[in-house]
């Protein structure tokens, strides 16, 4: 692999920038200052350092974003900021959001260039758990909760035009937020269009605020404010791949 491609794949900069970095002696290969961007290296054997920081090669890249409201889960958009705009300091080439959150929905969003992992996590056959914090207009009754846990009609139809009920969901403890609105934790196993909002409408309720807390083995935690992101750990990546 060419040295400039290696550095570019790891988000060091554009090819033009990397050429300047190498010209200025900021990159070393096995302790020796590199002089040419086209130098061929072996990512598995050679030690590559940029500004004295050793860089470990990674074929794919994985970012956990706490998506804020007002940002669209897309790579490009003519009117609104996209989730990729929030990663302006990273090399976002090839990155895509794993699934979508509505523009007014906050919370966990995985961005990666690992297309196989995206496919596995979003496959309807995999039934990957997704947990949401749902702030509601009205409290849920026991009957409402039972319906959600059994599966509700949100308007979708199968090939025979019969109601395609949602898969059984899990509803956990109800509480109130600082505006005295009822809050539940809802875990679903699909990713249909506006699914959580449509499920609440199916039981005569309305979602006032929605935040995704987890997807598969990946959880949001309290370390990221809306709009902030971090690189996934190797352990998190391996757990996601085991659960796909």
Catalytic residues: 102
Could you give the CA distance from residue 137 to residue 181 in angstroms, rounded to a whole number? 6
In order of 21, 41, 49, the CA distances from 16 in angstroms are: 9, 19, 18
Length of the chain: 244
- Computed on alpha carbons and rounded to an integer, the radius of gyration of the chain in Å comes to 22
Burial 100-135 (b: 16+ CB within 10 A, else e): bbbeebbbbbbbbbbeebbebbbeeeeebebbbbbb
Alpha helix locations (H) across 56-157? 115-122, 142-150
Could you give the CA distance from residue 133 to residue 6 in angstroms, rounded to a whole number? 40
């Amino acid at each position: 692999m060419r040295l400039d491609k290696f550095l570019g794949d790891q988000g060091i900069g554009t090819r033009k920038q990397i050429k300047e970095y190498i010209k200025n002696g900021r990159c070393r290969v096995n302790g020796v200052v590199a002089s040419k961007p086209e130098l061929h290296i072996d990512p598995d054997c050679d030690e590559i350092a940029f500004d004295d920081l050793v860089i470990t090669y990674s074929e794919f890249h994985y970012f956990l974003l706490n998506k804020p409201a007002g940002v669209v889960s897309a790579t490009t958009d003519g009117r609104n900021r996209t989730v990729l705009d929030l990663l302006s300091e990273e090399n976002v080439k090839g990155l895509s959001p794993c699934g979508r959150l509505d523009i007014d929905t906050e919370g966990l969003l995985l961005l990666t260039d690992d297309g196989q992992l995206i496919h596995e996590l979003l496959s309807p056959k995999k039934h990957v758990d997704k947990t949401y914090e749902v702030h509601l207009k009205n409290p849920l009754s026991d009957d409402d909760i039972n319906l959600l846990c059994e599966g509700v009609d949100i308007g979708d139809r199968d090939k025979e035009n019969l109601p395609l009920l949602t898969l059984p969901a899990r509803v956990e403890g109800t509480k109130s937020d600082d505006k005295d609105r009822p809050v539940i934790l809802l875990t679903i196993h699909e990713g249909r269009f506006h699914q959580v909002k449509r499920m609440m409408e199916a039981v005569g309720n309305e979602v006032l605020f929605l935040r995704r807390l987890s997807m598969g083995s990946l959880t949001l935690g309290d370390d990221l404010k809306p709009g902030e992101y971090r690189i996934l750990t190797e352990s998190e990546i391996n757990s996601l791949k085991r659960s796909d």
